[in-house]
Structure 1
Amino acid sequence: MAKPNKNPLWQTTNKERKSYYVYFCGQNMIYTLVTSFLTAALLFQGLDVTKAAGITLVIKIWDAVNDAIFGAIFDKVRFKNGKKFIPWLKISLFAIPLSTVLLFSMPKDGSEAFKLAWYAITYMLWDTAYTLCDVPIYGMVTAMTERVDERTALQSYKSIWGGLGSGISTVIATILVGEGVGLSYSIVSIVVAIGAIATMFPICKYGVERCGGEVDESFTVRKMFKYLFSNKNLLLYYFGYFFNSSLNIMNALNLFVSFYLFNNSMFSMVVMVLSALPMLVFAALVPKFVAKYDKMKIYLTCAVLQVALSIVMWLIGYSNMILFIVLCVLRAIPQGIMGVMVFMFTPDCAEYGKFKTGIEAKGITFAIQTFMVKLTGAVSSALSLFLLGVIGWKDVSQAENFEQLKELGITQTPETLEGLWFIFIMVPAIGVALGAICWMLYRLSDHDVQLMTEANNGKITREEAIAQMKNPKEFLKVK
């Protein structure tokens, strides 16, 4: 028998919520391994950084096509059991881990052409598999409950579990390829894949789709673009997200920064562990913050703090290790809050889009989110490779891990190290600043979203919702 909810108005069960949370632990184990460690794996393979960056971006052409296609298919397909989200999650349960292992299992002795082809094909397979899970799991929250406060809680705590998954993946990869162990990234990917399968399974068994069972409107390309450009809040938010995430190259460079600037690749894990406690504490407080303050105001405040601390960090330099750690711990607080909140805005935009256009387009809305996550991850990886070429990075392909890199004594020039410090700290800070400029134009309050949700679900009329809104002007103009 399911445990009673602490909030009697909530629709989900305790087991259901926990299953939803731990899914993100596994998903983020995979995502973090690819976004944070693929660059290092490619460098150890000796791939030309410019060619690898080019392939990464070219694959995004397919990504744009496959996300748009899947988003449209997702809004149309109905499985025999009547479910919309869970069947896709079951399909992706093994597709994602398997494609991840293939991506990191590139033969070391192959020619450059063979390695580039391997990278292109396996990255495309991984990208497609990731789409199969990302759109459904984020859209699932709209089927689990129609209450905005419950959705906010689900998204807050799933982000904490997602952060835990990222941390687990980071620790596993850092230790196993670092000095003292020296395993290959292929072994690391297998370990992470097994953990991902175990944590992604429960939602497939215990998840319940209880809301939004209506058949979505059939999409044409014309209607799709009409919907996208009519949903200004969705576009504004993800324009900002693009800058913020695309320029966030810290994770891709973390191990090499630790090795070359702080003399040990394990240093990054020390910083992560020390930053984890304040990050988790403030992340856990996000539901309380959101209940009291507007989401976007919190988000913008954290963005400003993050930029300010990054500038101070860059100006001080990397010679003072203790001060660097202190600044990292302080910066982890706004980073943690933003990390929890980052995808809270997508369901709001989906409700806004339906209320404004009358089109049920959760598949397209969450496909945009998935596309932006993968696009920015690829741009970030490609940008990190490109910038390494700009600062004069020396080839490290003689080594397979940091243990071997240390033994071989492969060094970088002082100019390269200064360039590495700048791109590691300031390029992400510039991305946050550009994102904040876009988010300042976002106009959607939690109060109005709740009214839109109730109207979309038929609990109140459209006119009743507009009459109670804080910002009804836009809808008064719509016939």
Structure 2
Amino acid sequence: MKKGKTEESYLTSKLERFNYSFYFLGQGMTYVMCYSFLQQYALDAGISALLFAGVAFAIKAWDAVNDPIFGILLEKIHFKSGKFLPWIRISILAIPLSTVLVFAIPSGLPIGLKVAWLVVGYMLWDTAYTIGDVPIYALSTAMTNNPAERTLLISRGRFWGSVAIFLPMFLLPLVRTSLGGWTNTILVFCSFCAITMLPVNFKVKERFNGRGEDKKDPTLKEMVRYIVKNKYLLIFYIAFLVYYSFNISSTMSIIVARHCFGSEGYASLMSLALLAPPMLSALLVPPLLKKMEKFRLFMLSLIGMNALCVVIYFVGYQNFMVFLVLTVIRGIGYGFVSTLLYTFIGDCCEYGTYKTGVDAKGIAFAAHTFFTKFMGAGATALSSVCLAMVGYVSGEGAVQPATLPGHVWALYCLVPVLGLLIALPIFRMYKLRDKDIFAMTKCNEGLITREEAEASMSQKY
């Protein structure tokens, strides 16, 4: 096919974009395994719901130190082969290996040692994930200075990220027993993850990493100022921290399948219905953004998918096919939300540089990784507390209270909606728009003056 004008203006090749985006498949699968299945694994291993909730909160103390420190290291450490790629190469083995470790608690250990193993293993995985997650998103800003091309890179990455959510959520419940249990299954999946993360080693280039001869590394004071002055980065992350901390449905798919629909195998169909549509949504984002402002599409999708949660609750779990159809429709909105979320981070980076004159994308993306993991831990901890409140009994095959299905269904459908209602006023404070970000980017690159940038913006920042 003949290249169009848009393709010709891109600095990256199709192969480079594929190699970059394919990393998200393996990396994302490890996140889903820890986020969506670790709670069930711990409960099956005999760790109580309340004890696991305490573990989820406790390890966030490590996150509070780990992610900011790595953001500073990313800005300060100079590798000859690049600013971001060397860290990503380390993560290709570190992330899969640490994921296996988390799910390899020896069954004969007493509860105290099981908890200790879980905490140490999760801290190692958490560190490895940070080493990969912060640079891979920041890398999109180093590969090109074209905002549209950056959106394309992130959209392709989120396509594979959607596949990454789908594969373990769909396949793991189906094959876990036949593969010999949790540890063997995670080992097989993580071997595949390592393979899919490898292509980012080849043909991917850093072109704009802020490390030119005339550029100085930002000081710690400048990095702090970059975050403090970046109000839209803070607004966006606080809103999503609230929303996703209540998004406990992703951690409860096996529990709902077992106790509402009668079999763990239904979790695979639930995941198929929710997570197949986002693969299409991720590909539709670039053309849709030509007709609709990004934030508007994002908010409409977020509100729509949560409205369907309320409908699903009242429909009930007695008719599984109706539930599947509604979940497929909800999945379309979920795909738009999950894809667009990551494009706002690059926008906030450009705003931060525009406001402060400091290029510290590593710090901004470290904040992204911190909040992402904090959201996941918050949702896991909240769902564990909720399960304890409704009388869930730990241990695989344990007898549960007769009232459990109705309580689990209410938690699964309605708690995320409560999170959105709390987060909506915060989201309304986010004012960055696509046209203005484009002007800021050109100003940050020195292509236009600050006066020219402000003259073309829709509002004053």
Seen in structure 2, the aligned counterparts of structure 1 residues 216 and 422 have a Cα distance that, compared at 3 Å, is farther
Q: Secondary structure at the match of 1:412?
A: coil
Q: Secondary structure at the match of 1:342?
A: helix
After superposition, give the CA deviation of every residue in 1:247-287 in whole Å (9 maximum; x if it has no partner). Answer: 11112110111011101111121233244554333332111
Structure 2 partner of 1:210: 207
Distance 2:216 2:267 in 1: 46
Q: In the alignment, is residue 183 of structure 1 matched against residue 183 of structure 2?
A: no
CA distance, structure 2, for counterparts of residue 216 and residue 240 of structure 1 = 33
Name which of structure 1's ranges 114-123 and 326-335 shifts more when overlaid on structure 2: 326-335
Amino acid at match of 2:71: G
1:166–1:278 Cα change, 3 Å: closer
Question: Is residue 452 of structure 2 the alignment partner of residue 455 of structure 1?
Answer: no
- 1:33/1:169 contact within 8 Å kept: yes
Whether contact under 8 Å (2:170, 2:267) holds in the other structure is: no
Q: Select the residue among 439, 456, 459 that pairs with 1:468.
A: 456
| Amino acid across the alignment from 1:194 | S
Aligned-partner SS, 1:291:
coil
Are the aligned partners of 2:160 and 2:279 in contact in 1 as well (CA < 8 Å)? no
CA deviation profile, 1:356-414 (whole Å, cap 9, x unmatched):
1111110110000000111111111111111111110012x2x3xxxxx3xxxx43223
TM-score by length of 1: 0.92
> Are 2:158 and 1:170 aligned?
no
Separation (CA, whole Å) in 2 of partners of 1:337 and 1:253: 22
Q: 2: CA distance between counterparts of 1:384 and 1:151?
A: 35
Corresponding residue for residue 69 of structure 1: 69
Which whole-Å CA distance do the structure 2 matches of 1:255 and 1:21 have between them?
29
Change (3 A) 1:274 1:218: closer
SS in 2 for 1:343: helix
Q: 1:425 corresponds to which residue?
A: 413
What does residue 126 of structure 2 align with? 127
Residue in structure 2 matched with residue 116 of structure 1 by the alignment = 115
Task: Give the whole-Å Cα distance in 2 for the aligned partners of 1:43 and 1:176.
Answer: 19
Tell me, in whole angstroms, the C-alpha distance in 1 between the residues paired with 2:169 and 2:432: 35
Q: CA deviation at 1:235?
A: 0.7
Provide the rounded CA distance (Å) in 2 between the counterparts of 1:288 and 1:439.
24
Give CA-to-partner distance per residue, 1:341-360, whole Å, 9 cap, x none. 11110000000000011111
Q: Give matches, 1:60-99, under 5 Å.
A: 60-81=60-81, 83-99=82-98
What's the RMSD between the two structures over aligned residues? 1.7
Deviations 1:92-114 (A, max 9, x none): 11111111010000001100111
Contact conserved, 2:218 with 2:358, CA < 8 A, in 1?
no
Q: What is the distance in 2 between the residues matched to 1:8 and 1:182?
A: 48
Q: Is the 8 A contact 1:216 1:360 kept in 2?
A: no
1:276-316 CA-to-partner distances (Å, cap 9, x unmatched) read 55433333211111122111111111111122111111122
Residue by residue, what CA displacement relative to the aligned partner does 1:40-69 show, whole Å, maximum 9, x if unpaired? 100010012222211221111111111111
Q: 1:75·1:361 contact (CA, 8 Å) conserved in 2? A: yes
Measured in 2, the distance between the counterparts of 1:4 and 1:86 equals 28
SS in 2 for 1:240: helix
2:308 is the alignment partner of 1:320: no
Instruction: Work out whether residues 4 and 13 of structure 1, in 8 Å CA contact, stay in contact via their aligned partners in 2.
Output: no
CA contact (8 A) 1:38 1:104 kept: yes
CA distance in 1, matches of 2:255, 2:176: 12
Q: Percent identity?
A: 36
Question: Which residue does the alignment assign to 2:433?
Answer: 445
- On the 8 A contact 1:307/1:433 being kept in 2, the answer is no
1:117-165, Cα deviation, whole Å (9 max, x unpaired): 1011111111011100000000000011100111111111211111112
- CA shift in 2, pair 1:212/1:456, >3 Å: farther
Matching residue of 1:195:
192
1:381 is matched with 380
Instruction: Between 240-249 and 428-437, report the one with greater CA deviation.
Output: 428-437
The number of aligned residues is 456
Cα distance, 1:424 vs. partner?
Answer: 0.9
The DSSP-based 3-state class of the residue aligned with 2:9 is coil
Write out aligned runs for 1:118-267 (5 A). Answer: 118-178=117-177, 181=178, 183-214=180-211, 215=215, 217-220=217-220, 222-267=221-266
- Determine the structure 1 residue equivalent to 2:403: 415
**2:11 matched to 1:11?**
yes
Counterpart of 1:129 in 2: which secondary structure?
Answer: helix
SS of 2:55's equivalent in the other structure is helix
CA distance in 1, matches of 2:445, 2:202: 26
User: TM-score, normalising length from structure 2?
Assistant: 0.95
Alpha-carbon separation, structure 2, partners of 1:366 and 1:470: 27
Structure 2, gaps ≥5 residues long: none
Q: Secondary structure at the match of 1:344?
A: helix
Q: Which amino acid in structure 1 is aligned with residue 458 of structure 2?
A: K
Q: CA deviation at 1:205?
A: 2.2
Q: How does 1:258-277 map to 2 (within 5 A)?
A: 258-277=257-276
Equivalent residue of 1:414, what SS? coil
